[in-house]
Amino acid sequence: MLYNSKILLFVLCLFVVTPNKLVASPELNSNSNLFLIQIDSLIKQKNISNDMTKLELLVLYNDALFEKHPDSVSIFKNLAIINADLNQPKDALVFTKKYINNTLDFSILNDGAYNVISDSEEYETLSEDYRLQLDWLTFLFLYVALIGFFFTIILSFSKKSNRQAKLFIGGFVGVHSLFILEFVLYISNFQYKVPHTYLMASAAALLYGPLLYLYFKSVISDFKFRTKDLLHFLPSLILILFLFPMYSLSGDEKVKIMLDINVVYNSNRYVIFISKVLSLTIYAILIGRDQYLYERKENHSKHNKVQTINKWKKTIYKIHIVYLISYIIYGLPVSGLLASFPYFINYIQVSIMSIMVIYLSYMAYVQPEIFKQEWTNLSEASRLSMEKYQKSGLTNALSKELKENLIKLFVEDKVYKENNINLEILSERLNTTRHNTSQIINEHFNMNFFELINKFRIKETINILKNDTYGNLNIIDIAYEVGYNNKVTFNKAFKKETSLTPSEFINSQFKKNVFVLGISLDGLRSQSKQNKC
């Protein structure tokens, strides 16, 4: 009540002194053309702090603004701070936004005057729009993004089988993680500090569909990436070229776009949204078609591995469809095609992406064999061979024990050197049945008995040949040494394993030895000359 009385008294005094014009107290100067530097110097000189004097300043600044003073930006700042200090949050909101839009200076909100209106809705709006926002949800999404990047790096650099498929699924997780990271920067307002991250994920907006499609192709068929498959990435290149003018802008210009000051590039949102929806839809149809045909083909298979991998791919595909739907719901209002939307829709879309990243990372940890894809690339005969062991009754503990014993027989005892070794004799050495031995070799080594024997024999042969520096050994002697009964079988097995005949391999080793010897001799001659000198 006392505060309102002061304001009323102040206004009445002004009109009594000069009825045609608002005039401040004589001490502050009544000239309507008072320059801002004079006002600021008076503030410092008088150490002004009482409400009446602030109201006088408010009138002077409004008067200067009305008369279109050239330093209007400073007027916005002073009016924002004074209104905040006088607990007038609505005016403080208006002038604060005008000042920030003109200067991109967010530090004004650090002024102590805003503490007066800190409980108001207007200050909450300013804080949400401009100040750094950190909460548990922000850290959660950041954590998911980091997990996704870690998964992408680990999977992409893995040198195990079907690296092609791993690169595709790793890239798929990577672009999701990039989008989640950009969302974190956006909701936390940290993007104002790093403006060049604005729409960074949009450069990869058209990669979601192709990467997932090529991954499915790699694991459900004997797919080899060829030059013509680069066409799947052509739309992404076109989109990047389209966005390049915006990406090349300065940081301040990008901040203006974020604040909707610069509306020149608003059409980018429509282009990104429409092209991404089309890409996601087209590739969802292609993946669904291929998956349907694959399931029809593999419908007879009851093997656990086949069922596990099929379930895994179905889950990824379902999450992809849900993401497509959520993106359409999110993108319609964001792109401007719908008037408004509840803000929580942003979180729904990113939450679905986070679920995708967490699910893939979890499966990589719990069931890493899914990413190896050895099973999906096996021949039909090999699958049928493995499926026959489905109900053998061999426990996991016994299977592990037999595997370890088998490795010991081959590595330490070198049973493969015995020319009469067969599955029956090997089973006796393992103290188990022929059926169990066959199952152990198939499941743990992904090959049959003869393939395993030949692998060890040829490896032993290579070691012998490499150590035979002077070429004193005969090929037939080596063949007998490693367990073969004749030269023909030995030559055939050797070429299958190394793509070279034994003679070709020996010649290559000889040339290598001569080259090394030549370097050594040159070194000795050089040393000899130095000693003579």
Whether residues 74 and 110 share a domain: the answer is: yes
Handedness of CA 487, 488, 491, 494 (dihedral sign): negative
% the chain with pLDDT above 90: 24
Identify which has the larger pLDDT, 329 or 99: 99
* pLDDT tens digits along 28-51: 333 434 444 444 544 444 444 555
pLDDT of residue 371: 64
Residue 489, domain extent: 453-533
* Res. 329 pLDDT band, cuts 50 70 90: confident
Last residue of a domain, one of 397, 421, 446: 446
- C-alpha distances out from residue 83 to 67, 116, 229, Å: 20, 10, 62
Whether residues 274 and 169 share a domain: the answer is: yes
Whether residues 245 and 318 share a domain: the answer is: yes
Last residue of a domain, one of 101, 130, 159: 130
Whether residues 96 and 235 share a domain: the answer is: no
Whether residues 352 and 272 share a domain: the answer is: yes
pLDDT of residue 73: 79
Whether residues 420 and 532 share a domain: the answer is: no
Structural domains counted in the chain: 4
For residues 227 and 224, what is the distance between their CA atoms, to the nearest angstrom? 10
pLDDT of residue 432: 86
Looking at residue 499, the DSSP 8-state letter turns out to be S
Give the domain CATH number at 460: 1.10.10.60
Q: Which of 168-182, 185-199, 471-485 has the lowest mean pLDDT?
A: 471-485
Whether residues 253 and 162 share a domain: the answer is: yes
With 60 as the cut, is the pLDDT of residue 417 above it?
yes
Whether residues 301 and 218 share a domain: the answer is: yes
Whether residues 429 and 508 share a domain: the answer is: no
Average pLDDT, the chain: 76
- C-alpha distances out from residue 130 to 15, 90, 330, Å: 40, 16, 23
Whether residues 62 and 195 share a domain: the answer is: no
pLDDT of residue 51: 57
Question: Taking residues 97-115, what's their average pLDDT?
Answer: 91
For residues 480 and 452, what is the distance between their CA atoms, to the nearest angstrom? 18
Whether residues 272 and 152 share a domain: the answer is: yes
Whether residues 356 and 430 share a domain: the answer is: no
CB 452 within 8 A of CB 493: no
What stretch of H or E contains 497?
A: helix 487-498
Last residue of a domain, one of 87, 106, 130: 130
Structure tokens at 6: 């002061």
CB 392 within 8 A of CB 366: no
For residues 214 and 231, what is the distance between their CA atoms, to the nearest angstrom? 12
